[in-house]
Amino acid sequence: MGTTEEAQKSFGDAIRPNVVSYTTMISGYLKREKLQDALELFEEMPERNIVPWSAMVHWYSQTGYNEEEDSYQMVLYFLGLSVSLPI
């Protein structure tokens, strides 16, 4: 599997995707700078642990979205207190 499309097909074929498969897809989207796809998948995850949260926060911190205001908005979003991210 080398392309996003192949990974999406494998993910879609999974009977019950788990946190590992979700996080793998999210990380792949983020590596390819497909933030909207990553966010949508993150939102549809039935349960999240520290791993997918870490993937999202890491991406934001590595791509310049770590200014004080943006960081604050991101925290609010991840706590469920905001409906939008500073994109």
Domain residue limits at 63 = 4-78
Please check whether residue 51 lies inside any domain of the structure.
Answer: yes
> Does residue 50 sit within a domain?
yes
Residue 83 covered by a domain: no
Count of the separate structural domains present in the chain: 1
Residues in the chain with pLDDT values less than 50: 1
Question: Is-above-0.85 flag for pTM?
Answer: no
Q: Are 37 and 29 in contact (CB under 8 A)?
A: yes
**Cα(33)–Cα(41) distance, integer angstroms:** 14
Residue 84 within any structural domain of the chain:
no
Q: What is the DSSP letter of 67?
A: S
pLDDT at residue 78, rounded to an integer: 77
38: closest CA among 15, 65, 72? 65
Question: What pLDDT sits at residue 41?
Answer: 92
